[in-house]
Amino acid sequence: MGRNNIFTHEFVPVAEGKRKEGYFMKKKILSIVIVLAMVVTMFAGCGGKKTEDQETSNSSNATESGAKEESDTKDSAKDESEKTFNGIDISVPVTLKMYLLGDRTADFDKVYAEINKILQEKLNATLEVEFLSWSEHDTKYSLLFAGGEDFDLIFTASSWGHYEATVAMGGFYELTEDFIKTYAPDIWNVVPELAWSQAKIKDKIYMVPNYQNEFGANVVAVRGDLMTKYGYSDITSFDQLLEFYGKVAEGESGLTPLGTQAGGLLYSYLLDQKVDTVAGTPSELFVYNTLDPNDLTISYALDWEGFTNYCKLAKECYDKGYWSQDSLATTEERQDGLLNGTAASMIWNKGSCKYYGTEANNAHPEWNVTIIDTSPNVPKAVNPYINNGIAINANSKNKERAMIPGAVL
């Protein structure tokens, strides 16, 4: 794969995008105002002197219209009271509060406004979404449950997304087979059996897992302008990445190769060593061979010679200034250095690198942020299905209604 400049297509700068959005919104509002003005003017122009017959006729029409409106109101109330979905009573409107991990994106509210139109029409429900940012979810996630926060749904994931720990503290509602089949039969049928199996803890399910294959190998989002400056048209190996980092550390002022993301280098190193970690809890303490599917050997990372070598390498990188000295104390998130210009690169999964690389290029097109794979010939593992999922709060007052939206969306 090597260098993958997926950011070379044209982008609309953020400020320009907002100007265009504002322009079209103003035109839309203006059109509505004009139409309303025309309607009001039309009815005002028709309001001449009435004859007695006209008044009598209008009075009769008004009586009939009033009777019809009363009938329509009763029918509407009846329809509302008889609302069902797959035989389930949804006549009472509910607002479902959901927590997601990450940062709220610019268009998130617009997207969910459209989603809520569907949910309100089909399920008589509204989703209210809050976020736990990347920098705070490790500390605040468990507090939602310990403090008795009133909410219904929450993102979860094995290992990094607090799944096992929250189950242990009784925070998630158990999703029995009958419960899922009753309130979300389509989900039961779509999610692979293996995914349900992975979600089980002591033979009980507490999350609706992802049902699609997801490749979670880490890549590097790197400043393309700095690659060009130091003579690199591409970076295709871990050693080459370290060489590039060395030149950046020596040649740039106020900018480090990795910012505060000291631990990020481990993932590129593991791929270079042709091993990967076993997902789960405790996290990343066990490694296995990614090249040979017949090799079922699992090694404890602290007993693996390669990990000892990595620790020595990390010390060398620190001494050379590959990341800032306040990495342990910083509150910065891993993308911040790339976005604010204090880091030459960021290591994360491809989706995140693409997202924040695009954001950086929108603000600074001259940076030409590019994705590189330092181990292009090494097979990449597929994430377990439980790397992403949704759980229901054990204290939710709307457990049944919380299970239904996934079947519609």
CATH class name, domain 218-381: alpha beta
Element (H, E) at 288: strand 286-289
Q: Identify the pLDDT of residue 66.
A: 55
88-212+386-408 and 218-381 share one fold: yes
The domain spans of the chain are 88-212+386-408, 218-381
How far, in Å, CA of 358 to CA of 9, rounded? 10
Q: Identify the pLDDT of residue 38.
A: 29
Q: Identify the pLDDT of residue 79.
A: 55
- Third-level CATH fold of 88-212+386-408: D-Maltodextrin-Binding Protein; domain 2 (3.40.190)
Would you say 388 and 209 are in contact if contact means Cβ atoms under 8 Å apart? yes
Q: Identify the pLDDT of residue 258.
A: 92
Q: Identify the pLDDT of residue 282.
A: 60
Q: Identify the pLDDT of residue 145.
A: 97
Nearest CA to 341 among 218, 250, 219, 226? 226
273-323 confidence digits (pLDDT tens): 999 888 765 667 899 998 888 999 999 999 999 999 999 999 999 999 998
The 3 state secondary structure assigned to 317-386 is HHHCCCCCCCCCCCCCCCCHHHHHCCECEEEEEHHHHHHHHHHHHHHCHHHCEEEECCCCCCCCCECCHH
36-85 confidence digits (pLDDT tens): 222 222 223 333 333 344 444 444 554 555 555 555 544 444 455 568 88
Low-confidence residues in the chain, pLDDT < 50: 1-59, 62, 73-78
Would you say 298 and 307 are in contact if contact means Cβ atoms under 8 Å apart? no
How far, in Å, CA of 329 to CA of 310, rounded? 22
Would the pTM count as exceeding 0.75? no
